[in-house]
Every structure is written in structure tokens, then in C-alpha cells.
Amino acid sequence: MAYEDDEVVENLKNWWQKNGTALMFAVAVGLFSFAGWRYWQTTSVEAATQAQSLQQQMQIDVQRLSTNPNDKDILAEVQRLGDQLMKDYSRTPYAQDAALLLAKVAVEANDLPKAITLLKGVIADSSDDTEVALAQSRLA
């Protein structure tokens, strides 16, 4: 029996020498892949949450602007929030929503060239057919 145990141990040592490096590499790749996936998920959720918060603030300011159309501070804040959404979150639907809101504000301020530019940007960049149709109808 002792001979068999020694034989098993020797076989395990041989197997480890032959396959240990590959096994450790596979485990390391698996762990790094899992960690990378978790990091990506966490940062994606955080970015979406931040973008949503900015959009909500922008919508609140647009409503405030509708009751105080001559308030330059509110207008500047709406513009800042919209620009930030379009720059920092350009690959999210929040950027297109910001462009649509900024176009609305531009029309209300009688800045039609700016509104046209923003609406054309939504048409060119959006993957959402509803947003494209909305921008096209507002452009018409």
C-alpha cells in the first residue's frame, strides 16, 4: 500500500511539473477576466448613474427656465449641463436627450442655427429611431 501511495505522489509531482504552469496561467487568466468584468460593470453603472443625475438636473433647470426665460444664470447652467452630458457621456442616450433639450432651449431663445446644428447631430449620432424621428420632425 505504501508503494502505491508513493507511486500516486510521484505521478502527481510529474503531472504538476508537466501541467502546473498551464494550470496556474489558466487560473490567473480566469481571475483577471472576472476582475476586469466586475470593474467594467461597476464603472458602467456609476457612469450611467452620474449621467442620469446630470440629466435630471438639466430637466429641472429647463423647467425653471420656462418660468424665468430671461434668467441668464439658469440658461448658462442648462448649457453647461448639456455640454457636459454630450461630451462626457457621448455614447449614452443621455447625450442625445441633452442635445434635444438644448435644441428646444435654443429655439425658445430664437437661436435657430444652434438648434439646427444640435438636431442634425442627433440625427447623425443617435441609434434610437424614435430620437431620430423626433429630431427630424423638429427640424422640419
For the chain, give every domain's residue range.
Answer: 2-139
**Is residue 44 predicted with pLDDT exceeding 90?**
no
What pLDDT was estimated at residue 83? 95
Contact between 89 and 47 under an 8 Å Cβ cutoff? The reply is yes
- Calpha distance 22→61 (Å, rounded): 58
Residue-averaged pLDDT of the chain: 90
Distances 65 to 32, 76, 95, 128 between C-alpha atoms, Å: 49, 10, 20, 27
Domain 2-139 carries which CATH code?
1.25.40
Answer with the residue of higher pLDDT: 25 or 43: 25
1 has a pLDDT exceeding 90: no
Tens-digit pLDDT profile for residues 70-115: 889 999 999 999 999 999 998 888 999 999 999 999 998 899 999 9
Confidence of residue 2 (pLDDT cuts 50, 70, 90): low
51-74 confidence digits (pLDDT tens): 999 999 999 999 998 888 888 999
